[in-house]
Chain A
């Protein structure tokens, strides 16, 4: 059974640009959550989608958005990139309404220059 796949693994963008990250959950999983990991702030919850609906959103500006497709794949978009958006972005998938076990991808390392 394939794990959670995040693409791309590495990304370098310039301030002001926008970026789209992709996450393919484990087959059959309907929940996808996104997290931002930085040395200073640790792991912070961005948002979660379940069956194409956003169920919860963390405390991030509106520049951060996401969506989920009917096949449960999810994308995260960040517009007008800032230097502070440099981080490891992790996604997690779960088959449950409440994640009794969340499976993580290897993350996308975004560097904003």
Chain B
């Protein structure tokens, strides 16, 4: 079974500070992609960052970076210099290559609030 667990339903961070969102997943697959999506109040899911499982180097996109631990099946998101616009639901997701279809498995989400 493919599952994604986000153990922090809600988090808050002061503006300009750093926050880390946790994600663990379970899969027997060896090749897959991992994602963090952001869903602001507008409801549109926006891709924040992605990681290929076969790459050891952690992905980075501006203020967003991940800590990918394949053996531990852990994929946390670090947001540096938090901004008010980062307030949103954040979903961890992955897609295994073997299904041959575009079926994203999502976690339950973490609601992040950036406090001015």
Contact = CB atoms under 8 A, between A and B. Distances in A.
Contact of B97 (A31, A98, A109): A98
Interface string B97-114: 101111111111100000
A94 interface: yes
A21 interface: no
Interface stretch (A11-19, A67-75, A99-107): A99-107
B101 A48 contact: yes
Given A100-B33, A105-B44, A107-B44, A43 B91 contact: yes
A106 B42 contact: yes
Size band of the interface chain B makes with A? 20 to 34
A45 B45 contact: no
Interface in A7-61: 31, 33, 35, 42-43, 45, 48, 50, 55-56, 58
A24 to B, nearest CB: 15
B9 to A, nearest CB: 11
Given A90-B45, A92-B45, A107-B44, A43 B106 contact: yes
Contact of A56 (B37, B91, B101): B101
A2 interface: no
A59 B36 CA distance: 24
Contacts of B45: 90, 92, 104
Contacts of B107: 42
Given A48-B102, A58-B103, 18 more contacts: A33-B102, A42-B106, A45-B103, A45-B104, A50-B102, A55-B100, A56-B102, A88-B43, A92-B45, A92-B102, A92-B104, A94-B102, A97-B100, A98-B102, A100-B33, A101-B47, A104-B37, A106-B42
